[in-house]
């Protein structure tokens, strides 16, 4: 019976490994994608910022063209002041001069605002570039390790499956059937150690007599509360 319990414990260990590997097979792609997405988010921010800088530069050039035109118009009207002959003409020219001065001031203000915005955005982009470099240095090794783990899962599962076949081939069919039935009904955990005089599966306190019977390992004994197979661990 002790040999049977040892095989049951080994089988549970193998099934725990298979369960962990199956969970990793499901979970790892999501973890890898999360790490990559963090990098992509910053990269997209940088791309958007670069596009915005190009738009600002284009806008600045257009404003400079407008400013040059306004300055040329202003000079033209200022030169006409020396050729006027009537007060009426003077007032008309002066009104044009005032309008062009206002236009020049507006264009200069627009250019200044664009330059300020560009400088602030450039500074932000530098910070984002530093953030991206740090994030890549931090995340890339992690997702590469996770990808290696994901790539090795099938091989590890194949090894565990072979181990399982070797164990089950030597087990009593009825005991194996009992183990499988309990395992399927208890979320993969069919055999548990007694911990602090309680079932290691449901934590129900066990009668002293049941504990002694389990220690003797003369038969397969289960927890009366959860139905899992019990075994005695000398470290309990």
Residues 50 and 137 in one domain: yes
**Is residue 156 over pLDDT 80?**
yes
Question: What local confidence, expressed as pLDDT, does residue 206 receive?
Answer: 93
Residues 132 and 198 in one domain: no
Residues 125 and 71 in one domain: yes
The total of structural domains in the chain comes to 2
CA torsion angle for 107, 112, 113, 114 (degrees, to 10)? 90
Among the residue ranges 80-89, 93-102, 187-196, the one predicted with the least confidence is 80-89
For residue 169, being part of any structural domain is answered with no
Can you tell me the mean pLDDT for 164-172? Answer: 94
For residue 33, being part of any structural domain is answered with yes
Can you tell me the mean pLDDT for 75-87? Answer: 88
CA angle 181, 185, 191 (to 5 degrees): 70
**Is residue 163 over pLDDT 90?**
yes
**Is residue 44 over pLDDT 90?**
yes
Q: What is the pLDDT of residues 93-133, one digit of tens each?
A: 999 999 999 999 999 999 999 999 999 999 999 999 999 99
pLDDT bin (cut points 50, 70, 90) of residue 83 is: confident
pLDDT bin (cut points 50, 70, 90) of residue 164 is: very high
For residue 21, being part of any structural domain is answered with no
Range of the domain at 210: 175-231
Tell me whether residue 72 is exposed, middle or buried, using C-beta atoms within 10 angstroms of its C-beta: 0 to 12, 13 to 18, 19 or more: exposed
Q: Which two tokens stand for residue 5?
A: 């319990």
- Report which DSSP code applies to 229: E
Domain end, chosen from 101, 119, 152, is at 152
Using alpha carbons, select from 44, 51, 48, 5 the residue that is nearest to residue 222.
5
pLDDT bin (cut points 50, 70, 90) of residue 81 is: confident
Q: Residue 95: which CATH number? A: 1.10.287.1490
Residues 148 and 179 in one domain: no
How far is residue 62's CA from residue 207's CA, in Å, rounded to a whole number?
A: 89
Question: What local confidence, expressed as pLDDT, does residue 132 receive?
Answer: 96
Using alpha carbons, select from 96, 97, 108 the residue that is nearest to residue 63.
108
Number of Cβ within 10 Å of residue 135's Cβ equals 17
Residues 146 and 32 in one domain: yes
**Is residue 236 over pLDDT 70?**
no
Residues 147 and 76 in one domain: yes
Residues 184 and 147 in one domain: no
pTM above 0.85?
no
């Amino acid at each position: 019976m002790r040999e049977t319990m040892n095989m049951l414990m080994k089988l549970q260990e193998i099934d725990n490994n298979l369960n962990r590997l199956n969970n990793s097979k499901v979970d790892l792609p999501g973890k890898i994608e999360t790490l990559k997405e963090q990098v992509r988010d910053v990269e997209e921010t940088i791309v958007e910022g670069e596009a915005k800088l190009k738009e600002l530069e284009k806008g600045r050039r257009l404003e400079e063209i407008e400013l040059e035109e306004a300055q040329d118009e202003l000079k033209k009207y200022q030169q006409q002041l020396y050729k006027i002959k009537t007060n009426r003409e003077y007032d008309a020219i002066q009104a044009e001069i005032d309008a062009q001065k206002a236009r020049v001031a507006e264009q200069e203000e627009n250019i200044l605002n664009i330059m300020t915005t560009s400088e602030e955005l450039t500074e932000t982009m530098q910070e984002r570039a530093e953030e991206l470099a740090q994030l890549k240095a931090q995340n890339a090794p992690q997702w590469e390790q996770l990808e290696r783990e994901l790539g090795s899962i099938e091989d590890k599962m194949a090894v565990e499956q072979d181990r399982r076949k070797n164990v089950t081939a030597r087990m009593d069919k009825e005991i194996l059937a009992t183990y499988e039935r309990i395992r399927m009904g208890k979320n993969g955990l069919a055999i548990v150690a007694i911990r602090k005089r309680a079932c290691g599966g449901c934590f129900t306190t066990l009668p002293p007599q049941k504990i002694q019977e389990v220690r003797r390992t003369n038969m397969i004994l289960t927890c009366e509360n959860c139905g899992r197979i019990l075994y005695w661990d000398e470290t309990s």
